[in-house]
């Protein structure tokens, strides 16, 4: 197979470059063994970019991001940049990429591999076979709403953020949820706080209307966010696709992370709308975890979330489902053989480094190809 796809790689900070190196090992393997050609560009983002350019992402990098068929990002942030002004902080680079590319749909699968049943803090019978997709709205809501800031009212200082959603913003994320459920187990749970938030009641009304507009082949139910957090740890198997806003999605997907045992196992994809002129659908793939400054540079980070993010990239941006399946299989086999980075270490397993895990996945790919 041969094709030329533009891939922009943004390693970022902390463990970002370490885990990206292991994904690049897979990219190289694919180029050599599957004859799939990627045009790879690598650039700075986050604190690494701030140190060189004084901002968390440059205009030139944003241009490259707009031309790319897909972006693979490591992680950004770290204590070194804690005192940088908010607009130039590492996280601002990530927010700009998401916002300017209008990556409104954030896909966060939470899958429990049989080999890692013991890594979950929940009982094996609660999480066995778990496969949930959390769909988080990513470009609106309280992280972007105006007004925001700190202001003085009658001599008292207030910290202020605004939770706001337009009807089209809710409709388009619900449409993605219904499409995704159709390819899975046909069930969508829409999550908000309709009981205490006006924006929550509005979300529920629009979600119901979007369901009735041609999506009734999929089951829709509604749940309050606090109950959803509880249900995720009580009986996660009840969920198929969970769709929710930016803030609740941020929290609930981290909660779902613990079902799988480690943040180091969780991939994600952020996808936008098709450009009518070029036909391109902007998409960025990244592990859910951050830059883990506590273990950065120690060759201890789990690269599997990034490798599985690359698998999502193959599946959703490059339409290479067969190769993605093979990569997922290689990861499952490596885990089945008892290889573990320290974050998922269990009794009797064999501890490997970041690099060791990447090499083991490539060795399994060699056997599968
Ligand atoms: P974190 O995800 O970086 O780390 C939380 C804990 O999980 C740490 O103990 C860390 O060692 C561990 N961990 C995370 N990824 C791991 C991996 N791949 N393998 C093994 N262990 C792993 O979250 P944090 O500590 O709250 O944040 C650290 C920095 O990362 C902050 O600057 C934060 O703003 C940033 N951050 C960035 C992103 C992103 O780039 N998408 C996401 C979250 C946090």
Q: Can you say how many angstroms the Cα of residue 218 is from the centroid of all Cα atoms in its chain?
A: 24
The model's confidence at residue 303, banded by pLDDT at 50, 70 and 90, is: very high
Q: What pLDDT sits at residue 279?
A: 82
277 vs 169, 230, 282, CA distance in Å? 22, 44, 13
191, 224 contact by CB (below 8 A): yes
Q: Specify the residue for token string 């749940």.
A: 223
State whether CATH 3.40.718.10 applies to domain 112-131+140-260. Answer: yes
The model's confidence at residue 76, banded by pLDDT at 50, 70 and 90, is: very high
* Ligand 1 probe mutation, 23, 72, 291, most atoms within 8 A of CB: 291
Domain range annotation of the chain:
1-104+272-369, 112-131+140-260
In this structure, the residue with its CA closest to atom 42 of ligand 1 is 290
Q: What pLDDT sits at residue 286?
A: 97
Mean pLDDT computed over 221-234:
97
DSSP 129-167: T-EEEEEEE-SSGGGT-SS-EEEEETTEEEEE------H
Give the residue from 92, 81, 32, 84 showing the smallest Cα distance to 56.
Answer: 92
CATH topology of domain 1-104+272-369: Isopropylmalate Dehydrogenase (3.40.718)
- Kindly tell me if the per-residue pLDDT of 101 is higher than 60: yes
Q: Is 56 in the pocket of ligand 1 (CB under 6 A)?
A: no
Helix (H, G, I), strand (E, B) or coil at 89: coil
Give the residue from 169, 61, 167, 165 showing the smallest Cα distance to 105.
Answer: 169
State the angle between helix axes of 354-368 and 321-336 in degrees (0 to 180), rounded to the nearest 10: 120
Q: What pLDDT sits at residue 145?
A: 96
Q: In the chain, what is the straight-line distance between the N-terminal and C-terminal CA atoms, in Å?
A: 13
Mean pLDDT computed over 269-282:
88
In this structure, the residue with its CA closest to atom 16 of ligand 1 is 264
Structural element, H or E, at residue 251: helix 246-260
Q: Is 298 in the pocket of ligand 1 (CB under 6 A)?
A: no
The model's confidence at residue 353, banded by pLDDT at 50, 70 and 90, is: very high
Mean pLDDT computed over 79-108:
94
Q: What pLDDT sits at residue 335?
A: 95
The model's confidence at residue 153, banded by pLDDT at 50, 70 and 90, is: very high
Q: What pLDDT sits at residue 99?
A: 87
Mean pLDDT computed over 154-175:
97
Residue 31: both structure tokens together: 């180029």
Q: Is 77 in the pocket of ligand 1 (CB under 6 A)?
A: yes
Q: Which of 49-53, 63-67, 233-237, 251-255 has the lowest mean pLDDT?
A: 251-255
Mean pLDDT computed over 142-156:
96
258 compared with 357, residue with greater pLDDT: 357
In this structure, the residue with its CA closest to atom 36 of ligand 1 is 290
Q: What angle do CA 214, 215, 218 make, to 5 degrees?
A: 155
Widest Cα–Cα separation across the chain: 70
* Ligand 1 probe mutation, 20, 48, 263, 308, most atoms within 8 A of CB: 263
Mean pLDDT computed over 172-191:
93
* Ligand 1 probe mutation, 20, 46, 285, 289, most atoms within 8 A of CB: 289
Average pLDDT in the chain: 94
38-73 pLDDT, tens digit per residue, is 899 999 999 999 999 999 999 999 999 999 999 999
Index of the ligand 1 atom closest to the CA of residue 306: 18
Top-ranked range on mean pLDDT: pick from 107-121, 196-210, 336-350: 196-210
Instruction: Find the 182 Cα to ligand 1 centroid distance in Å.
Output: 33
In this structure, the residue with its CA closest to atom 12 of ligand 1 is 292
Instruction: Find the 19 Cα to ligand 1 centroid distance in Å.
Output: 12
Q: What pLDDT sits at residue 3?
A: 62
- Kindly tell me if the per-residue pLDDT of 1 is higher than 60: no
Mean pLDDT computed over 245-261:
89
Residues with catalytic roles: 143, 193, 226, 250, 254
131-146 pLDDT, tens digit per residue, is 999 999 999 999 999 9
- Kindly tell me if the per-residue pLDDT of 2 is higher than 60: no
Contacts of 305 (CB under 8 A, 6+ apart): 19, 263, 264, 265, 266, 267, 287, 288, 289
Instruction: Find the 282 Cα to ligand 1 centroid distance in Å.
Output: 25
Cα torsion at 52, 55, 59, 63 (round to 10°)? 80
For residue 137, list its beta bridge partners.
105
């Amino acid at each position: 197979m041969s094709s030329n796809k533009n891939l922009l790689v943004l390693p970022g900070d902390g463990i970002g470059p370490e885990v990206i190196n292991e994904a690049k090992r897979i990219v190289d393997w694919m180029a050599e063994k599957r004859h799939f050609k990627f045009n790879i560009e690598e650039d700075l983002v986050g604190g690494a970019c701030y140190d060189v350019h004084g901002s968390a992402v440059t205009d030139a990098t944003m241009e490259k991001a707009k031309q790319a068929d897909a972006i693979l990002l490591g992680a950004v942030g770290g204590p070194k940049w804690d005192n940088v002004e908010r607009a130039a902080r590492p996280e601002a680079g990530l927010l700009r990429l998401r916002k300017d590319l209008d990556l409104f749909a954030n896909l966060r699968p939470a899958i429990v591999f049989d080999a890692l049943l013991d890594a979950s803090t929940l009982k094996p019978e609660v999480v066995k076979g778990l496969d949930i997709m959390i769909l988080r709205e990513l470009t609106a809501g309280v992280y972007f709403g105006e007004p925001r800031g700190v202001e003085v009212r009658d001599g008292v200082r207030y910290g202020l953020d605004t939770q706001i959603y337009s009807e089209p913003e809710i409709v388009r994320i619900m449409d993605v949820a219904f499409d995704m459920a159709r390819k899975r187990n046909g069930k969508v749970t829409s999550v908000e706080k309709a009981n205490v938030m006006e924006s929550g009641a509005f979300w529920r009304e629009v979600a119901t209307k979007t369901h009735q507009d041609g999506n009734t082949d999929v089951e829709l139910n509604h749940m309050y966010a606090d109950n959803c957090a509880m249900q995720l740890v009580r009986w996660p198997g009840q969920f198929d696709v969970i769709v929710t806003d930016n803030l609740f999605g941020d929290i609930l997907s981290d909660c779902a992370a613990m079902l799988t045992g480690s943040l180091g196992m969780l991939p994600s994809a952020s996808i936008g709308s098709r450009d009518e002129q070029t036909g391109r659908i902007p998409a960025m793939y990244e592990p859910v975890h951050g830059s883990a400054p506590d273990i950065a540079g120690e060759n201890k980070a789990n690269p599997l979330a990034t490798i599985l993010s690359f698998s999502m990239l193959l599946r959703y941006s490059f339409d290479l489902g067969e190769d993605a399946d093979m990569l997922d299989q290689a990861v499952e086999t490596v885990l089945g053989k008892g290889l573990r980075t320290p974050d998922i270490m269990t009794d009797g397993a064999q501890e490997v480094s970041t690099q060791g895990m990447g090499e083991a996945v490539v060795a399994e790919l060699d056997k599968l190809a």
